[in-house]
Chains A and B, each alone.
Chain A
Amino acid sequence: MTTQTQRLMLKRLIQIILGAAVFFVAWHLIVSGLRIPKYLVPLPLDVFQAMQKNRQVIASQAGFTLSAAAFGLMLSTLLATAIAISFTMSRNLAQASLPVVLVFRSTPVAAVAPIMMLIFGRGISTSMAVVTIVSFFPMLINTMRGLQSADRNAAELLHVYGASRWQQLRFVRIPFALPYLFTGLRVAGSSAILGAMLSEWITGSKGLGNLILESGEMRETELLWAAVLTSVTVALAVFWSTSASEKRLLRWTHT
């Protein structure tokens, strides 16, 4: 089992590396073959050089974006789990407050970000607040779905044993909810990075979003491409790692 999964992961890794290699070679050949001017699309090697030269800047800006995204995600996971548990414990509370939750769910980031900026000013706290709000709803919905997905036989067994509500929660509902929590993280993860970058964009605080914007305005094409590549890599890494852990956990519950 373990050797098989290891081999599978190795194969996936090789696939990703090969895909990236093909992508960069094709990029180089197309740009140099069609003589596309450098200010439109620079050569991949130049982009890597720019990345090398500015690696401290890029790393520190990416650090700002990632820490805003991670902090926001953590906060919204805690909040969403607490609220989801209280919703499943009390039906009345859920019925009373779900409509409010649904209204907030459909407010777009573009509408949340300026109000957060009015409240928190031009700093990293605005990004954190935006990420928390944006990722709260996918987390809440998926955690609630998970808590309600508990196997009926298992729940009945615990009922027969005379388990308390907390024991029900601890031994049945939460284990069954874990994979759904990761589904929530997968959906929320990509919107968290996006939310962090968007709020940096309008607040002008430090981070990858602002680095991209500034190097675009300064016409520093190589740095712009380096920053864009970094942000895309970060977003894809978050997406892939969360969906991989989701898959693993789903397999764990089904077997």
Chain B
Amino acid sequence: MTAALAASHKIARASWRPLLTGAVLIGLAEAAKHANLLPVFVPSPSEVVMEIWNSPRLVTENLAPTAWKSAMGYFIAAAIAMTAGSIAVSVRAVYGPIYNFGVIIHSIPIIATAPLLALWLGTGPQVQIAIAALASQFPMLVGTMQGLQAADARQRELMHVLSASRVQTLWMLLIPSALPYLFAGLKIAAPSAVLGAITAEWAGADRGVGAMMLYALFSYDTPKVWLSVFLTCFLAAAGFGIWALIERLVVTWQRDVEIAD
């Protein structure tokens, strides 16, 4: 509990400066818009806020489905990627094939698969969930694979000399040294899942931030376009932020590792 309190204090101390900058920028944009200095495609911040005020259901009805679909896809991808990563590390023969498969899925343009998945899975939320999963799998796979190999040989030898069982080695050495990498992967993957869900909604969905964005674009409703852009950023940042917070509470021994992209 004290750790949580300390962490929240730290976050509050680190975030007042960016928040202040943001507030100043919003004030400047508002003033510039009223002085007719901004082009037509930039609405004033108050117009965007009024959009929420006038139709709060627009936000709730579109934000919730997208959040739900990205989260579903994300967790499915996390389960599969972590399992595949652990198998790859423990069975040497399949290490290369699993990694290369991940690379190939990662480098396929996700939108190319959307119409195909729509043919197979129907036009419901399944397509968006599947694409969110496909778009977010790679960092988690790499994080798992790198993390489980992060313990160095001397540490492994020490565990061996101390005659630790396999379970003890896993619990006391491999998992603690893997967690920072795993969290790095989980953090990077969360915005990708949101991006995948939203692009899949562009291909056809009646609800969701992506659908709202498309409707607003085709009717040239500038404040609504910007609102959907902010909702996208909000979802992506929330996904990243939740994992960053959990990481701060869980991983107290090592931080800021970098996983290969």
Contact = CB atoms under 8 A, between A and B. Distances in A.
Q: A and B: real partners?
A: yes
Interface of A: 39-40, 99, 106-111, 114-115, 117-119, 187, 190, 193-194, 197-198, 201-202, 208-209, 212-213, 215-217, 221, 224-225, 227-228, 231-232, 235-236, 239
A111 B104 contact: no
B222 interface: yes
Chain B: number of interface residues, binned into ranges: 35 or more
Contacts of A215: 115
Contacts of B118: 216
A99 B118 CA distance: 40
A99 B214 CA distance: 31
Nearest to B18: A99
B237 A106 contact: yes
A202 B217 contact: yes
B74 interface: no
A216 B115 contact: yes
B238 to A, nearest CB: 12
Contacts of B107: 190, 235-236, 239
B229 interface: yes
A209 B198 contact: no
A174 B222 CA distance: 43
B195 A108 contact: yes
Nearest to B236: A108
B111 to A, nearest CB: 5
Contacts of B222: 118
Given A114-B229, A190-B107, A201-B202, A231 B112 contact: yes
B119 interface: yes
Given A119-B41, A201-B202, A202-B214, A212 B236 contact: no
A111 B233 contact: yes
B101 to A, nearest CB: 12
A190 B217 CA distance: 26
